[in-house]
Amino acid sequence: MSGPIVVVAGATGAVGDEFFALFEQRKFPIGELRLLASARSAGKKLTVCGVEYTVEEMTAGSFAGVDIALFSAGGARSKEFAQHAVDAGALVIDNSSAFRMDEDVPLVIPEINGHLVDDFCAGAGKTCEGIIANPNCSTIIMLVPLEPLRRRFGVERIVVSTYQAASGAGAAAMRELETLSRAALAGEAVEPKIFSEPCAFNVFSHDSAMHPETGRNQEEQKMIDETRKIWEDAEIGVVPTCIRVGVKRAHAASINVTLSSPASESKVREALAEGEGIELCDDRTGNSFPTPLKASGKNDILVGRIRPDETQDHADGRYVGWELFVCGDQLRKGAALNAIQIAERALGV
């Protein structure tokens, strides 16, 4: 056996499927793989990289000898079991919100602050122990394309509207979209179970809990708090509006960004073209721009509709305000891929 012992916690969910596809696509080094889920999924057979595995129930004793534990089982399960994995000597990379704002837990997007993984694992040998958190999917999809602009010009303020697919609420939500879509086309009335509003052929405010005083929902607050932590900038202005749309997979976002220093369109495009994890999709002549369908299954964030905001300060063809429209696969870069990139960096591969 060569390579680390890897556990996937939440193996039967939508993100679990993406882990398995990416293991094969990226030739992720695995010496031994263990698949964990709830008691009701124990015994299920899954094929990963051509090998059949039996899903086991996740318990406190599931992590003996484990090097890397990829958690995507929800915040409650992470809080219950992540520390058991750490105590067994594993590096936990957690997809939930359970630890993101813990000051002792790095919140990592490798294209932005991957050095935190190096610092966290310094001197630990093959792997390290502890917890590293994956940011919220909407935060990742927004910040990856903004990072090259921040590095070159600085960023003062972000106004963002998200259009989030059913995939963000998991496999059951994706099935609900399919069921309600069929019912709507057949003229049948079916009550939603996952979402508070019918998701088929509909657009509605994000289904996370709403703060009665701020008027922000939890998804919007996450984007504010996580951006400030990742960029280490407590003053950055972030004004999000998070919306759920009747799309199966891949989130979109309309972004208005205010730069610290003005930039020409050629320089903005140059910065974006050189950015990591970005694919430009900006064909004005052909009216072809990012869409969720184009982004689905892709690892990069698609960026288009690049244009200046003429209502903000500008002179001599240089603007501080810029508009972007981006799409990214929530299950890929918004979840599984980001976690695997962290694991690869921790392993030095």
Residue whose pair of structure tokens reads 């394309």 in the numeric block = 145
What beta strand segments (E) does the chain contain?
A: 5-9, 32-37, 45-48, 51-54, 56-57, 68-71, 91-94, 130-133, 155-164, 203-205, 237-245, 251-263, 278-280, 301-308, 314-315, 318-328
Buried b (16+ CB within 10 A) or exposed e, 227-243: bbbbbeeeebebebbbb
End-to-end, the C-alpha distance of the chain in Å comes to 17
| Distance separating alpha carbons of residues 65 and 34, to the nearest angstrom | 11
137 belongs to the catalytic site: yes
Phi then psi for 313, rounded to 5 degrees? Answer: -55, 135
Residues 6+ apart with CB under 8 A from 159: 239, 255, 256, 257
Helices vs. strands in the chain: H and E counts, helices first: 10, 16
Residue of 242, 251, 281, 327 marked catalytic: 251
Q: How far apart are CA 56 and CA 293, in angstroms?
A: 34
Catalytic residue among 128, 137, 242, 281: 137
Residue with tokens 């679990």: 16
Here the tokens at position 58 are 């996740």
Which residues, in sequence order, are CB contacts of 269 under 8 Å at separation 6+?
280, 306
Q: Where do the H-state alpha helices sit in 154-249?
A: 171-185, 218-230
Nearest-angstrom CA–CA distance, 149 and 268: 7
Partnered with residue 158 across adjacent β-strands are 238, 257
Instruction: Write out the two tokens for 121.
Output: 């694992």
Please list the active-site residues.
137, 251
